[in-house]
Amino acid sequence: MKDRFLLDPEVTFLNHGSFGATPREVFERYQAWQLELEREPVDMIARRLPGLLADARAELAAFVGARPDDLTFVENATTGVNMAARALALRPDDEVLTTNLEYGACVFTWQQHCRLVQVPWQELFDHVTERTKAVFVSHITSATALVLPVEAIVREARSRGLTTVVDGAHAVAQLDLDLDALGADFYSGNCHKWLMAPKGAGFLHVRPEWQERVGGAIVSWGYEEPATFISRTSLQGTRDSAAYLTVPAAIEFFRAHDDRERCIALAREARRELCALLGTEPIAPDEMVLQMASVRLPEPDATLNRRLFDDYRVEIPVQGDLMRISIAAYNDRADVDRLLFALGELYA
Ligand SMILES: Cc1ncc(COP(=O)(O)O)c(C=O)c1O
């Protein structure tokens, strides 16, 4: 499998989670779309693109259990969260409830719009006040890499009349999604992480009753009447849409090589061994861990990431006292062994 990716063979790459990695054949499809754009930009952008994007959107919608017109392509999950936050039209003293495990960029997003109340996910609903307007939660958290019980959270929030915004940056293709059944008001996802599409392929899924209120990341031609949710969010000035058009190829590759059971088992095994080596306790039960696993270091280490890369060519993120291993289709036992060897030396 490693040969099917473009990753540097000199590097033990254990950080799929940050930006993903694209299989060679999917990347070739991406470049083929770029070449088509370059051969005849006007034909591609003005005539063919709307239909091509609608087809790609329909395939993605089927993959995530949604109706095609409820979902729009965006550059990345952060953009989707920004669009959702704007659509809520919050006042500065409105409250949005969230966990204390959220991705930093999205925390900044919400803080631009309202008072963001960050609490442990287990006690989310203990903090509802008359000012609470919405609940924002990651399906799989970032630094801690935990699968949160988003179905139950969305259900409870909706029963209390609260709007729900889910950050699904890591969930697409780690979990089988059924966004219609989940019923969140907004679900922002990435295809460039675990679906392994080229970078710059995300989406925002919006329940029909909200779509009128959702604007594009920028205001452009899509606002010309009769404007729709899809037109406002799709027409975003001149841009390269090749990453979006490649999503169906990424889905095809994923389906042909779905290897999640092995990856999850290896991630959990690595987590056990890392905890044993580091002498720390697992941060959560195995059931909350899929293809990413975070382990606690004995103490925060701001230089560990750099030393692992410089001295061992191991790429793995460290944030504070958390180190997060990612196991993607191209990772194997030898990658984990390399990390364990390096840490064994560094912590000797
Ligand atoms: C939970 C979470 N949300 C959002 C993002 C942002 O993804 P992107 O940079 O593709 O918008 C990340 C990135 O790692 C993440 O971990």
Determine contact, residues 85/165, Cβ cutoff 8 Å: yes
Summarised one tens digit per residue, pLDDT across range 68-96 is 999 999 999 999 999 999 999 999 999 99
- What number does the ligand 1 atom closest to the CA of 167 have? 3
Ligand 1 centroid to 26 CA: how many Å?
A: 21
Residue 347 CA, ligand 1 centroid: distance in Å = 30
For residues 249 and 74, give the distance between their C-alpha atoms in angstroms, rounded to a whole number: 18
> Domain 259-346: which topology?
Aspartate Aminotransferase, domain 1 (3.90.1150)
The residue among 48, 51, 65 whose CA lies nearest residue 230 is 51
226 CA to middle of ligand 1, Å? 33
User: Ligand 1: does its nearest atom lie under 6 Å from the Cβ of 169?
Assistant: yes
Question: pLDDT tens-digit profile of 277-335?
Answer: 999 999 999 999 999 999 999 999 999 999 999 999 999 999 999 999 999 999 999 99
Report domain extents, the chain.
25-254, 259-346
Q: CA 227 to CA 344: how far, in whole Å? A: 59
CA of 224 to the centre of ligand 1 (A): 31
Fold for the domain defined by 25-254: Aspartate Aminotransferase; domain 2 (3.40.640)
The answer, yes or no, to whether any atom of ligand 1 lies below 6 A from the CB of 190, is yes
Nearest ligand 1 atom to the CA of 17 is 14
Q: Is 142 in the pocket of ligand 1 (CB under 6 A)?
A: yes
Q: CA-CA distance, 170 to 271, in Å (whole number)?
A: 18
Helix (H/G/I), strand (E/B), else coil: 184:
coil
pLDDT in tens, 110-156: 999 999 999 999 999 999 999 999 999 999 999 999 999 999 999 99
Model pTM score: 0.98
C-alpha dihedral sign at 135, 139, 140, 142: negative
The stretch 58-74 carries a mean pLDDT of: 98
Q: Where are the alpha helices (DSSP H) in the chain?
A: 16-19, 24-39, 41-42, 49-64, 77-87, 104-111, 150-159, 179-182, 208-211, 229-234, 242-245, 247-256, 260-278, 304-312, 333-346
Residue nearest to ligand 1 atom 14, measured at CA: 18
Residue 35 Cα to ligand 1 middle (Å):
29
Q: Is the CB of 103 under 6 A from ligand 1?
A: yes
